[in-house]
Amino acid sequence: MKNYKRVVLLLCIMLLTGALAGCGWSKKGKDKSENSTKSSEDKAVDEITLDGMVSDALSKMTLKEKIGQLFVVCTDSLDFNAETEVTEKMRKNLEEYKPGGVIFFSYNLKNRTQIKEMISDMQKTAEIPLFTAVDEEGGSVARIANSKNMQTTKFPAMAEIGKTGDSKNAYHVGETIGKEIYELGFNLDFAPVADINTNAENTEIGNRSFGSEPKTVADMVSQEVKGLQAQGVSATLKHFPGQGQCGEDTHKGYVELNATIDQLRDVEFLPFKSGISAGADMVMMSHVAVSQITGKETPASLTKLMVTDILREELQFDNVIITDAMNMKVITKFYDADQAAVMAIEAGNDMILMPDNFEQAFEGVLEAVKDGTLSESQIDEAAGRVLSVKIKRGILPESSKLFRHNEGK
């Protein structure tokens, strides 16, 4: 009977794979010499042990090391003149600032061997292992699948997945993307998009969303999260509090989300709640303003009400909160890099993505701790969440020097 069940299960998997191929999702050939990556769930560490490991690590870190963990930077911030290899200047900046992660774009991708070697070289240089991040959603926002020579599965926009009405397809997307990018050295995907596409004029989100029906989007989001993280890749719900109904683009300037808190709770929050319940490692804060709720035109990413009071406390999200890219015009037009970084931490974000000037932002946070604008306990809480996710995903191994007890103790 057990053998019969296995055969039936295998047939179901084969039929599902065939159905997905029939939808026009093509997979390019891969180097057969590469070993497939074994699926991995959250690293089996109980909460008490995890808290102890994080506390132990923080006790061994300097203030500057903890601040460094709060940043995810692009390679330009490490060496503006290098894109596809780790240079001495990159090494120096990785060693000096110890950023929490690095995000890669199409211009960093030459071929499979090159990116694997580049990421491996960065990880060897970093004393504290890095988040190695990429925007790999599918459709037009797929840095890897849309790059020549990367030989990974090319999925359609998530709107097409949503139209199937079957959340198993979203799991397949997450599982496949997770497996294939993990093989290249990536451990963090800025996906899935949890926005609900309720405005046909929205060019920033559009077909990147799973659709316009809250329940469908919520189901798809939770399954993609599970698929990604089953492969050891952290998932990111974006862009909180939801910007599907906006008509403007935050990359270009100020954007207002015209919604009340009740509207957000009834519609926009549903996919985020679903993704949080699925165990998402990160949530990305949007730069849209929600003045009907906050009473001011400040981006949601920089307001304590939206980050801490609503996302952290009301929605009970305990993992890493990261800002959207801080080099967008909606930020750079109104704030200097150091000011924006300090505001982001004050609001309750744990990580700052792509500051317009990394050194200035880093020094701004450091100075804010020294002058009392930020407390070191705030830095510890944020860095602790970053380390916690790194431990759960196996990015920061128990063999790390951060967990080694000093001699004589």
Q: Which residues are catalytic?
A: 251, 324
Query: Quick one: DSSP state of residue 307?
Result: I
Q: Cβ distance 284 to 236 under 8 Å? A: yes
Sheet of 236-240: strand order equals 236-240, 282-285, 320-323
CA 142 – CA 195 distance, rounded (Å): 17
Q: Token pair for residue 343?
A: 């505001």
Q: Using omega within 30 degrees of 0 as the cis cutoff, is the peptide bond preceding 241 cis?
A: yes
Write down the number of H helices and E strands in the chain: 17, 10
Q: Using omega within 30 degrees of 0 as the cis cutoff, is the peptide bond preceding 239 cis?
A: yes
* 117, containing H or E segment: helix 112-125
Residues 6+ away with beta carbon under 8 Å from 170: 158, 161, 162, 192, 210, 219, 220, 221, 223, 224, 227
Where do we find the tokens 């998402």? 280
Where do we find the tokens 């929050």? 269
CA 104 – CA 135 distance, rounded (Å): 8
